[in-house]
Chain A
Amino acid sequence: MLVSPGKGGQRIVCLNKAARAGGLSLGELLSNARSKVLDLQVCDADPTADADALRKLALWAMQYAPLVSVWDEASCVDGLFLDITGAAHLFGGEERLLADLQHRLRSFGLYPRLAIAGTAGAAWALARYGKRNGMIIPTAAEREGLEHLPLAALRLSEDVLAVLRRLGFRRCGELIDQPRAPFGARFDTGLLSRLDQALGRASEPLIPVVPPAIYRAEVQFLEPILHQEQVLEAARHLLDKLVQDLARDAVGARLIRLLLFKANGAAVSLNLGLAAPNRDALHIAQLIGLRLYRLHCEFETDFGFEAAALHVLSAEDMPDQQARLAIGAHTPEPAELAHLIDRLQHRLGAGAVRQLLAQESHIPERAVRHRKGFAAKASTNPSQTRHRAANAQRAGKSSLPCAEATCSLAWTGNGPAGARPLLLLPRPESADVVALVPEGPPRQFRWRGVRHQVAASDGPERIAPEWWRRTEEATRDYYVVEDTTGRRFWLFRAGLYGRETDTPQWFVHGVFG
């Protein structure tokens, strides 16, 4: 039995089964209880410890769903919401998920009541006042599920409940069919909004539990700091503290957040992603400097910052490496490349550094993909790949294409047979073309207001649309066209004359160098 100080002395806030059997009830005075039951075990309630434990449980429950929220309205910390939208099938359906959750929580020594419903309010009501444990009601059937539950299932405050009881309402179903206007006038918005939330008529945002930063460092300033250099200096100071922790655990940071607290309590947050795990204080400080430089115009320092914090949100293993004895020319280390890419990305923007990947498609604009950052592949050095393939064969394995190779092809040898332009326009631009015959190569074309006389042309290279994509695209006939000044263009005629269209349109799609 747990007690906490209340009106007129210590009152009971929590009971176990044995105490209930002894005729005790919640809210009773401790002195009365002692007179009813002689051998009482009494402890003081500790709400903060409860909240902490529930939060820990919520973090544990994140294995089931990405969004877990703690129910703590009016400090009755006694439940969790799990948003299992799209997550239930991972456990083999909703029933199995509930059974699994029940089993695991029981092994912790907890006796949970669980329910699944389409809305958070309905799930709350069913879990507490449902006929049995583990009820599941389908979406849009909240009304039927709630009809027979007591009014307390609507998450209402005590005085509202008392008034409703006085008016003669007992069950939720009686309330649902009532006209809304008199209730809106009589009660504050809490009643109707709770009803709507339970029935799915109003949305209810859940406040997710955020896993804490793994490593953190804070500093308070004697006087608010104003200048970029000072912020940088503070960040460097914090980094020096953090790096020792990172080095001790042999991990490197991947995601760092710098928080700067203003005098009015607001915080400026700066997220820094790193291309590779890193715990080089100098490098990270450099990145922060570059980011600050990029933000300098949007950065409002008003009255300065009076505290700063640095959190490591994501860390990865980074074993210590022997420093290389650098004599003469050395091959670039992957770390150096990652540092450079970090610096470029933080100064120029996240998408500034890109790599081109070949894709398996005949449609020119789909045959190349841009990827952010740069991942040096083993295939950059042909001799190395050959060596590896030979090794694999020696080991008796068939050289299976790795996962990387299936999504992107090697450049050499896999390209299309026809000519391809050096520069591809983001979207084909229409051109007025004069041709001798509708199916022939262009003789003259006008593009961007300039007329080009065609001196020579190569083609056509026919590229049909991909039938499995169900697009309305037409077949394209590509021509390489050279004008009289020697400039070369990549033109295509959309649509087969006579079969797909009677007036084929011409487009310029690329420029050769």
Chain B
Amino acid sequence: MSYPASTRAPSGPPQKGQPQRAGTPLPFQAPFPAGAETRVCGSSTARSGLGTEQSEPSFHPEEGTRVANLRRRIAKLETCVSRAAPSLLGLGVPEIHRHLPGPGLAGGVLHEVIAATPEETPAALSFLLALMCLALKPKPGLAVLVAAQRAFDQWGALYGHGLDRLGVDPGRLILVTARTDKEALWAIEETLRSRVRPAIVSGALASCPDLTASRRLNLAAAALAIPLTLACTEKSSGGSAAATRWRIGTLPASRDRFGTLLNPCWRVSLERCRHGRPGKWFVEWNHVAHRFSLVEGMADHPSAQSTGNLRIAG
């Protein structure tokens, strides 16, 4: 089966424009209709709150709650198909939450995780699985991972003990293998539309779904209000209806005081975020406590610290 030519071809202008846009705070990606705005914004202060948010990222705490309220109402208007109450998948890092519309990844919408380079696909996949671990922790239920054959075939197959080491219980994971991206998308949609209600549905595709496919996934996910995460090797050329897009790069792992490798670390950049702002972080995944934390720059990376201590001791 062949892929559509448009998704395989490297896209010209939209990708080039991406890094420039990433640095500056984004305005709302999906402008809501004027009618909706007047209905939602009851007072003029609220409207000014929105305005301040657009011009400068830091705002008062009271205004912040008001803005958050407004955002929630707007989100409700936008995803009118949502039948279940949307749940949030908290990442546990306030610095990242400040860039997202709520304290965590929104449920019922599509989130894309892209590898910075094709060689960093394993890193993107493990970030995806870390998110899966966070989703599995609070509630019972299964996780479904739909993988297209081309997605990470060259890196081997998912290894049970490796998953366990990352924090995902392989006993709660259903692995679905599809031959092509198209079949994988079908399987994801079928899983979302079934009444199984897994805790999280994840996918691994060779290339991100295009606008139509991602809209379909959004609609299917909205009914369940569980997060839907997709790891892709390459970005689609067209637009995408995904709520967030994360780009994951590798980073040296953190060390314990004996110098052995401890936790995986990733270079995480939030490239696009509907109702939020992009950002870049160095993130460490604690596979025992199942928690993300920030790594404070590369200068005082644990490995550098440990060598310094050694020198003092000597």
Contacts and interface: CB of A to CB of B under 8 A. Distances in A.
A358 B155 contact: no
A480 to B, nearest CB: 6
A25 interface: no
Interface string A240-256: 00000000000000000
Interface in A325-342: 329-333, 336-337, 339-341
Interface string B108-138: 0000000000011011111101000000000
Given A332-B197, A356-B173, A411-B170, A423 B165 contact: no
A510 B166 CA distance: 15
A487 B152 CA distance: 15
Contacts of B191: 340, 344
Contacts of A416: 161
B163 A422 contact: yes
Contacts, number: 182
DSSP class of B's interface residues: helix, strand, loop or mixed?
Answer: mixed
16 contacts: A329-B197, A347-B186, A348-B177, A357-B160, A364-B161, A380-B142, A420-B159, A420-B165, A422-B126, A456-B303, A482-B252, A486-B249, A487-B119, A510-B162, A513-B124, A513-B127
A421 interface: yes
Nearest to B261: A458
A353 B251 CA distance: 33
Contact of B126 (A331, A340, A513): A513
B157 A424 contact: yes
B260 to A, nearest CB: 5
B123 A344 contact: no
Contact of B260 (A355, A458, A488): A458
A480 B166 CA distance: 15
B250 interface: yes
A511 B281 CA distance: 23
A487 B120 contact: yes
A420 B165 CA distance: 7
Interface in B133-179: 140-142, 152, 155-166, 169-179
DSSP class of A's interface residues: helix, strand, loop or mixed?
Answer: mixed
B159 A422 contact: yes
B305 to A, nearest CB: 14
A512 B126 CA distance: 8
A354 interface: yes
Contacts of A357: 160
Nearest to B195: A336
A358 B253 contact: no
A391 interface: no
A426 interface: yes
Interface of B: 84, 119-120, 122-127, 129, 140-142, 152, 155-166, 169-179, 183, 186-187, 190-191, 194-198, 249-253, 255, 259-261, 264-265, 303
B199 to A, nearest CB: 10
B232 to A, nearest CB: 15
A340 B201 CA distance: 13
Interface of A: 329-333, 336-337, 339-341, 343-344, 347-349, 351-358, 364, 367-368, 370, 374, 376-377, 379-381, 410-412, 415-416, 419-426, 455-456, 458, 480, 482, 485-488, 510-513
Nearest to A381: B140
B279 to A, nearest CB: 20
A340 B125 contact: no
B196 A332 contact: yes
A407 to B, nearest CB: 14
A343 B190 contact: yes
A424 B169 contact: no
A47 B263 CA distance: 80
